[in-house]
Amino acid sequence: MIIEYEDKYLENVKDLLVELEEYIVSIDKDNLDQLHENYREKMALIDLEEVRKNNGKCFLALEENKVVGLIMGIIRDYEEYDILDYKCPNAGVITELVVSKEVRGQGIGKELMKKIEDYFKEQGCEYSFVDVFAYNDRAIHFYDKRGYHNRMHTALKKI
């Protein structure tokens, strides 16, 4: 079952975001990511505030009243720089997507994607963006299967 975020699930959301960050840290070949001691207590609140401020939504996937997946998205706000630089159709941005490792492969991520994309469409968005960690091959494959493609490439060099 997919529902809109409710405060009573905050602790579950924190757990899922920690699970995601632990995974990202484990695959980070550059060793730049970290699980800061305050990550669990602060990151969910920061993410949810970004959602609130930017006409976004947070949807939760529930199984037996426990959160097993979440997706957060915002409606991108364009600044003068953007307008001067390129056409600026309305766009949604997926800021977080995580499905608990215990239930991956059961279609929950696909359901969450449909929910946020439907929300974006209802808001008049023409596009949906998502940044994916370069070493997260599973996520890249997941998004590729859903019609997402690379538009930018960020290069990194240790100096």
Element (H, E) at 91: strand 91-99
Within a domain: 43: yes
Within a domain: 159: no
The number of folded domains in the chain is 1
Task: Tell me the pLDDT of the chain averaged across its residues.
Answer: 92
pLDDT over threshold 90, residue 6: yes
Which pLDDT does position 156 carry in this prediction?
Answer: 84
| CB-facing half-sphere around the CA of 128: CA atoms within 13 A | 22
Give tens-digit pLDDT for 64-92: 989 999 999 999 877 776 667 777 678 99
Element (H, E) at 58: strand 57-63
Within a domain: 126: yes
Within a domain: 150: no
Within a domain: 151: no
Within a domain: 153: no
Element (H, E) at 16: helix 10-27
Give tens-digit pLDDT for 125-145: 999 999 999 899 999 999 999
CATH number of the structural domain spanning residue 124: 3.40.630.30
Which pLDDT does position 76 carry in this prediction?
Answer: 81
Which pLDDT does position 153 carry in this prediction?
Answer: 84
In this prediction the pTM is 0.90
Domain that holds residue 135: 2-145
pLDDT over threshold 80, residue 109: yes
Contact of 59 with 116, CB cutoff 8 Å: yes
Within a domain: 157: no
Give tens-digit pLDDT for 28-60: 999 999 999 999 999 999 999 999 999 999 999
Which pLDDT does position 155 carry in this prediction?
Answer: 87
**Once rounded to an integer, what is the mean pLDDT over residues 115-130?**
95
Which pLDDT does position 117 carry in this prediction?
Answer: 97
Which pLDDT does position 65 carry in this prediction?
Answer: 87
**Once rounded to an integer, what is the mean pLDDT over residues 147-151?**
91
101: left (phi over 0), alpha (psi -120 to 50) or beta: alpha
Within a domain: 156: no
pLDDT over threshold 80, residue 4: yes
